[in-house]
Amino acid sequence: MTSQLGKAPRQLPVIRACSIPRIEMAEELDFQYDPEKNYDEETLAQQKEIEREIVDTQQLVGERVSFDRLIREYAQEDEIYREKIEHLKNLYSCVRKTRGDGNCFYRAFGFAYLEKLLVDRTDVERFKDVVSKSLKVLVGLGFPQFTIEDFHETFLDIVNKVTNHCTHQELIDTFNDQGLSDYIVVYLRLIVSGHLQQEAEFFANFIEGDRTVKEFCNQEVEPMGKESDHIHLKALTDALGVCIRVEYMDRVDTHTCNHINFPEDSKPTIVLLYRPGHYDILYSNADMILFQRNLPK
Amino acid sequence: MSVSVNYTQSPEGIIAGPVNEENFFEWEALIMGPEGTCFEGGVFPARLTFPTDYPLGPPKMKFTCEIFHPNIYPDGRVCISILHAPGDDPMGYETSAERWSPVQSVEKILLSVVSMLAEPNDESAANVDAAKTWRDDRKKFEDIAERTVKKSLGL
């Protein structure tokens, strides 16, 4: 996936301000360092402000919205995106937005899948079993049990809630509770990290730069707020045995969105919408009928 | 909440634990200057403050004694990459530097601080004076370090 220009959804910007230039640079540029001034804190304050704005305006997992509302985010003259939304409108019923905080893939995946399990019980027992056993797998890979078991327990608790027919609203509330929701994200990140490390020989071929799989996991998977790419999606869906489809709504000059299934030849259970830097959830008409019929009241 | 590390588990040369039993969000640590460096023999006290969302966010660390070092602000705050989340990048760290993640531990931070004492990084300086001195006048840097070592021992 290459990064695309264009009106990306609001996303935490990566602020790359080097507040105090390298010292020899400082001399060259005639940089007047003011020892009274805290450059570090200034940058952090600015960043905190942006984060606060996102927290204030975007729910972790929002309401379902129509495509007509989605289209309003784009300029009238933005032909490519408008055309692609029209295309999506023919295939799907609505979209559910997630907060653009760098964790959106994990949150969208976690919510959409558990929501699906509420109305389609086929995979409930298998999924629960995979999640229960995953702690042992991670400990086996060298993650300290003491550090990761809280995250595992939180995630398993939520899976159990779904297994025991919690209400739709309970699931929505859980995913909008910052603490619980972030613990779910952490655990899904750990599952990705664990799977990448377990299959390191294979995934090493897809890692950019001079890094080992382990370094990649430490830098790009485990820390909160780190965005997800193809490799993260493949690892999570492989590890959990869940099939998803991603509709790519990018700037590529085609009239329709391209989609990719993970794994490739599978029948997807949930669909995510990708716009450069961000993932939301898509619902088909069939999904909506299923929800109407089967949701625990 | 998994603030770990008790006194007995601490890595060699480090003692750390909660300030008192009521508040697990404030820790104190004693860090010995690493052997073979100009900080050898010193015992440097520091405070660790954990955020309420720990371990999602990293703790802050601040030396409560005098210490002159490129990666420690003049007020004692420690500035190393593991204490920062990714994106939270005030010093323009290299992308390869190890960042905070919820699977990091207090032990890992303290070990990073010991290695920071042993090997200052003058390219992302929190104390510009110290970085300049470390780079241009090593003798002076070592003299200052020696003085802080003695001071840390109450000599």
Q: What are phi and psi of B30, to 5 degrees?
A: -120, 125
Q: Does A14 contact B89 at a Cβ distance shorter than 8 Å?
A: yes
pLDDT number for residue A151: 97
* B27 membership: H or E segment, kind and range: strand B26-32
DSSP B56: S
Question: What tokens were used for B38?
Answer: 């100009």
B7 occurs within a structural domain:
no
Mutate to test the interface with B, among A44, A47, A219 (most CBs of B within 10 A): A219
A10 occurs within a structural domain:
no
- Cβ B152 vs Cβ B65: under 8 Å: yes
- The nearest alpha carbon in chain A to B127 belongs to A35
pLDDT tier for residue B86 given thresholds of 50, 70 and 90: low
A37 occurs within a structural domain:
no
* B28 membership: H or E segment, kind and range: strand B26-32
Q: How many domains does chain B have?
A: 1
- For the CA atoms of A275, A87, A85, A176, what is the dihedral angle to 10 degrees? -60
Tokens 């939304």 appear where? A85
- Ranges of beta strands (E only) in chain A are 61-65, 94-98, 244-248, 258-262, 270-275, 278-283
Residues 6 or more apart whose Cβ sits within 8 Å of residue A35: B74, B128, B129
Q: Does A33 contact B128 at a Cβ distance shorter than 8 Å?
A: yes
Residues in B touching A31 (Cβ below 8 Å): none
A15 occurs within a structural domain:
no
pLDDT tier for residue B94 given thresholds of 50, 70 and 90: low
Question: Could you tell me how far CA B110 lies from the centroid of its own chain?
Answer: 7
Which CATH number covers residue B104? 3.10.110.10
Say which of B5, B29, B78, B79 is annotated catalytic.
B79
Tokens 């990290």 appear where? A193
Residues in B touching A197 (Cβ below 8 Å): none
Q: How far is A178 from chain B (nearest CA, A)?
A: 10
Whether chain A has a CB inside 8 Å of the CB on B55: the answer is yes
pLDDT number for residue A33: 66
- Full residue range of the structural domain in which residue B141 is found: 14-152
A167 occurs within a structural domain:
yes
Q: Does B132 contact A23 at a Cβ distance shorter than 8 Å?
A: yes
A23 occurs within a structural domain:
no
- Cβ A111 vs Cβ A188: under 8 Å: no
Question: What tokens were used for B57?
Answer: 């966010």
In 3D, which of A45, A40, A151 has the Cα closest to residue B55?
Answer: A151
- Cβ A90 vs Cβ A272: under 8 Å: no
Is B38 considered catalytic here?
A: no
Whether chain A has a CB inside 8 Å of the CB on B131: the answer is yes
- Full residue range of the structural domain in which residue A174 is found: 57-294
Q: How many domains does chain A have?
A: 1
B5 occurs within a structural domain:
no
Mutate to test the interface with B, among A14, A19, A23, A143 (most CBs of B within 10 A): A23
B9 occurs within a structural domain:
no
The shortest CB-CB distance from B2 to any of A12, A147, A223 is to A147
Three-class DSSP category at B8: coil
B1 occurs within a structural domain:
no
Mutate to test the interface with B, among A46, A147, A184 (most CBs of B within 10 A): A147
pLDDT number for residue A43: 76
Report in angstroms the alpha-carbon separations of B48 from A223, B16, B26, B80. Answer: 20, 9, 6, 14
Whether chain B has a CB inside 8 Å of the CB on A31: the answer is no
**CA-to-CA distance for B54 and B102, rounded, in angstroms?**
8
pLDDT number for residue A26: 40
The shortest CB-CB distance from A23 to any of B85, B122, B126 is to B122
Q: How far apart are the first and last CA of chain B?
A: 40
Report in angstroms the alpha-carbon separations of A211 from A220, A235, B72, B92. Answer: 11, 18, 28, 19
**CA-to-CA distance for A202 and A209, rounded, in angstroms?**
16
Residues in A touching B135 (Cβ below 8 Å): 23
The shortest CB-CB distance from A225 to any of B87, B124, B132 is to B87
Biggest CA pair distance of chain A: 70
Q: What are phi and psi of B47, to 5 degrees?
A: -115, 140
pLDDT number for residue A49: 84
Residues in A touching B9 (Cβ below 8 Å): none
B77 occurs within a structural domain:
yes
DSSP A210: S
pLDDT number for residue A296: 64
Average pLDDT over residues B21-35: 92
pLDDT number for residue A38: 65
pLDDT number for residue A37: 67
pLDDT number for residue A22: 36
Q: Does A43 contact B90 at a Cβ distance shorter than 8 Å?
A: yes
A211 occurs within a structural domain:
yes
List pLDDT tens digits, range B140-153.
999 999 999 999 99
Question: What tokens were used for A196?
Answer: 């990448």
Question: What tokens were used for B71?
Answer: 């990666």
pLDDT in tens, chain A (297 residues): 333 333 333 333 333 332 333 333 444 455 666 766 666 677 778 878 888 888 888 899 999 999 999 888 887 778 888 899 999 999 999 999 999 999 999 999 999 999 999 999 999 999 999 999 999 999 999 999 988 999 999 999 999 999 999 999 999 999 999 999 999 999 999 999 999 999 999 999 999 888 999 999 998 999 999 999 999 999 999 999 999 999 999 888 888 889 999 999 889 999 999 999 999 999 999 999 999 998 865
In 3D, which of B134, B153, B138, B106 has the Cα closest to residue B7?
Answer: B106
pLDDT number for residue B90: 58
A125 occurs within a structural domain:
yes
Number of A–B residue contacts, CB under 8 Å: 95
